[in-house]
Amino acid sequence: MLTSRFEDGLIFAFNLHKTQSRKSIPVPYFAHLMGVASLVLEAGGDEDTAVAALLHDAVEDHGGLPTLLEIRHQFGNRVADIVDLCTDAYQEPKPPWRGRKEQYLAKLRYASPEARLVSVADKLYNVRTTIDALRVDGNNVWDRFNGGKEGTLWYYRALLEVFHFTGSDLITDTYAQAVEVMEQLAE
């Protein structure tokens, strides 16, 4: 069962992200965080992992290492370590996209099972929203992504290879199916 600790994570994440929206669409960014946490819980993640899912973008979007220290202080080492492993940039402006993603892939290959779960849930949510956008906007959707069409497709396929390297489970299989649909729609 979830405790007030999860509620604290919701409030912390809400306060950080409440003014953000998703890439080029009028959907509150907070919807993404709740969706990722939901996927984590549905896949068997515990409360710490679900709190980390709520906070997985906090460090790269809101304050870098000082935010990570605040997460460590408020939610403990386990949550902070998961968030840290799910972070691909600690500074603004962020380093170049491709190099940042390659470093993230290398880090993820040896991440904890909990960090891997948050990452696959995050990417599954992103791929699903990209599929929806492709169905509505067609290939114009790729203009929203720093990696463009080719880079984004490369990244989600490379993530799948890392997820398969680190294990196989229902959420990874669901992610693989979603990537396949996204690739078909991109043709």
- State the chain's mean pLDDT as an integer: 94
pLDDT of 12 over the 90 cut: yes
Active site residue 60: yes
Is the Cα torsion angle 183, 184, 185, 186 positive or negative in sign?
positive
Instruction: Check 46, 61, 137, 169 and give the catalytic one.
Output: 61
Residue 114 contacts residue 82 (beta carbons within 8 Å):
yes
Q: Write the burial class of residue 73 (CB in 10 Å: 0-12 exposed, 13-18 middle, 19+ buried).
A: exposed
pLDDT of 48 over the 90 cut: yes
Instruction: Check 48, 60, 88, 122 and give the catalytic one.
Output: 60
Topology classification of domain 4-186: Hypothetical protein af1432 (1.10.3210)
pLDDT, average across residues 126-137: 94
Tens of pLDDT, residue by residue over 166-184, are 778 999 999 999 999 999 9
What's the confidence (pLDDT) of residue 25?
A: 74
What's the confidence (pLDDT) of residue 24?
A: 66
Predicted TM-score (pTM) of this structure:
0.94
Domain parsing of the chain, residue ranges: 4-186
Active site residue 150: no
